[in-house]
């Protein structure tokens, strides 16, 4: 089983999957996408993807529409995407993606969480070569589709790897091919279940259950923060 499938399975078990925490995070992504490219998902691929991922997490239609509407409000806060890099105990590296309307607050919160739990903030760029950024698409294999033919059709769109398990397909590519792969799949009439950008560690580390408990404390506190969208580590 490939690393991408393992990351996908892990994402389904993410600690901040509780709806009360997850929906506001998904809403931020939708609002930013709508503000950047307009509120019509048919004309805004980024918004279309954000809505697709929100629906995959069972986010109600009213919440999605409210998030899009917020982008057009006169007093809508300017949201920006920022990343932070950190080091946790036991040699674990952490990459943190945030969406915030107050970078000063977000920096302070992330730094405090790391420092109070045995970690530290690293200079951005420190982990540049420690993680690969990948585009992942998940969908069901149609009855008429042949996996080998599907692979050949998607290579020109940037496909790096395709995995099929019990009728479920996971397509992996470099993050720069996200748009071309998305268009190719939509053009084939594929109903994408989930589309996302993930950071995968080049050299994953193994840790004990006791060490994992220490790391979980940091991850849970980071993921509880309203500005944090995703947290990636180099844990195997």
Q: For 14-65, what is each residue's pLDDT tens digit? A: 444 455 578 899 999 999 999 999 999 999 989 999 999 999 888 999 999 9
Contact 162, 169 (CB under 8 A): yes
Superfamily of domain 80-128+203-233: YebC, transcriptional regulation domain (3.30.70.980)
Distances (CA, A) of 192 to 32, 50, 195: 21, 12, 7
What's CA 124's distance to the chain center, in Å? 19
Contacts of 215 (CB under 8 A, 6+ apart): 88, 89, 90, 92, 207, 233, 235
Q: What is the CA radius of gyration of the chain?
A: 18
Whole-number pLDDT of residue 13: 44
**What is the reported pTM?**
0.84
Whole-number pLDDT of residue 139: 93
CA separation for the pair 143, 211 (Å, rounded): 45
Whole-number pLDDT of residue 74: 75
Q: Would you give the end-to-end CA distance of the chain in angstroms?
A: 13
Whole-number pLDDT of residue 169: 93
Whole-number pLDDT of residue 17: 47
CA separation for the pair 23, 55 (Å, rounded): 10
Q: Specify the pairing of strand 120-122 against strand 159-165.
A: unpaired
Residues of the chain with confidence (pLDDT) below 50: 1, 11-17
Whole-number pLDDT of residue 3: 58
Whole-number pLDDT of residue 75: 74
Stretch(es) of the chain classified as CATH 3.30.70.980: 80-128+203-233, 131-200
CATH architecture of 3-70: Orthogonal Bundle (1.10)
Whole-number pLDDT of residue 12: 44
**Counts of helices then strands in the chain (DSSP H, E):** 8, 8
Tokens of 100: 């915030």
Task: Single out the residue of 181, 141, 182, 162 nearest to residue 49, CA to CA.
Answer: 182
Superfamily of domain 131-200: YebC, transcriptional regulation domain (3.30.70.980)
CA separation for the pair 235, 201 (Å, rounded): 8
Stretch(es) of the chain classified as CATH 1.10.10.200: 3-70
């Amino acid at each position: 089983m490939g690393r991408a499938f393992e990351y996908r399975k892990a994402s389904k078990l993410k600690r901040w999957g509780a709806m009360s925490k997850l929906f506001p995070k998904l809403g931020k992504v939708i609002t930013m996408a709508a503000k950047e490219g307009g509120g019509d998902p048919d004309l805004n691929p980024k918004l279309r993807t954000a809505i697709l991922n929100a629906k995959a997490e069972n986010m109600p239609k009213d919440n999605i529409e409210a998030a899009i509407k917020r982008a057009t409000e006169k007093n809508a806060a300017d949201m920006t995407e920022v990343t932070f890099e950190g080091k946790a105990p036991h040699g674990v590296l952490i990459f943190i993606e945030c969406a915030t309307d107050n970078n000063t607050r977000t920096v302070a919160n992330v730094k405090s969480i790391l420092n109070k739990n045995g970690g530290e903030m690293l200079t951005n760029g420190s982990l540049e070569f420690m993680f690969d950024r990948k585009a992942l698409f998940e969908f069901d294999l149609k009855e008429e589709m042949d996996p080998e033919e599907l692979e050949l059709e998607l290579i020109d769109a940037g496909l790096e790897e395709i995995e099929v398990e019990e009728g479920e397909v996971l397509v992996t590519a470099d993050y720069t091919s996200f748009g071309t792969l998305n268009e190719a799949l939509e053009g084939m009439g594929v109903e994408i279940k989930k589309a996302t950008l993930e950071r995968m560690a080049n050299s994953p580390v193994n840790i004990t259950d006791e060490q994992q408990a220490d790391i979980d404390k940091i991850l849970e506190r980071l993921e509880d923060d309203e500005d944090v969208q995703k947290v990636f580590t180099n844990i195997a």
